[in-house]
Amino acid sequence: MTLDGPSGILLRSSTVQTLAMALHELMTNAVKYGAIGQPAGRLDVRWTYEQPEETAEPWLHIDWRESGVTMPPQGASPTGTGQGRELIERALPYQLNARTCLEMGVEGVHCTISIPVSKRTGADRRDGV
């Protein structure tokens, strides 16, 4: 498993719970059916911080990518309730103004989540700004 991205990104308090639920759902499914639960599976989670021009909001981009996963045959019925997909594809955009994409690829799940974040960073907080 790879986790890679900058530290010190501050999330709005209204963002934390919903984003944590989405990441928990992705991890639970990775353990049960995906990259964490299969011997050849691999999980890479990377995030970047996009600092736009002064007038725009900064964004946190999260890229969740599973590989080496034996996926069910195309057209097979899903075994879950779909609540995780609903959370990622509908709740995050509605509640957090997020941009999301969730795909079941041939080697595993690929999910991207982009959310607006605080203009201040952890470094700003330490510097007393």
Range of the domain at 39: 2-126
Query: For residues 129 and 10, what is the distance between their CA atoms, to the nearest angstrom?
Result: 13
- Among the listed residues 95, 126, 96, 100, the one whose alpha carbon sits nearest the alpha carbon of residue 112: 100
Q: What pTM, to 2 d.p., does this model score?
A: 0.87
What pLDDT, on a 0 to 100 scale, did the predictor assign at position 81? 66
What pLDDT, on a 0 to 100 scale, did the predictor assign at position 55? 74
DSSP-assigned states of every residue in 19-87? HHHHHHHHHHHHHHTSTTTSTT-EEEEEEEEE---TTSPPEEEEEEEEES--PPPTTPPPSS-SHHHHI
Question: pLDDT-based confidence at 128, cuts 50/70/90?
Answer: very low
What pLDDT, on a 0 to 100 scale, did the predictor assign at position 51? 87
The tally of domains found in the chain comes to 1
**Greatest C-alpha distance within the chain:** 55
What pLDDT, on a 0 to 100 scale, did the predictor assign at position 121? 60
- For residues 97 and 60, the answer to whether their CB atoms sit within 8 Å is no
* Amino acid (one-letter) located at 17: Q
- Among the listed residues 53, 65, 59, 60, the one whose alpha carbon sits nearest the alpha carbon of residue 104: 65
DSSP 117: -
CATH number of 88's domain: 3.30.565.10
pLDDT per residue as tens digits for the range 69-123: 998 877 665 666 688 999 999 999 999 999 999 999 999 999 999 999 987 665 5
pLDDT per residue as tens digits for the range 21-80: 999 999 999 999 999 999 999 999 999 999 887 778 899 999 999 999 998 877 665 666
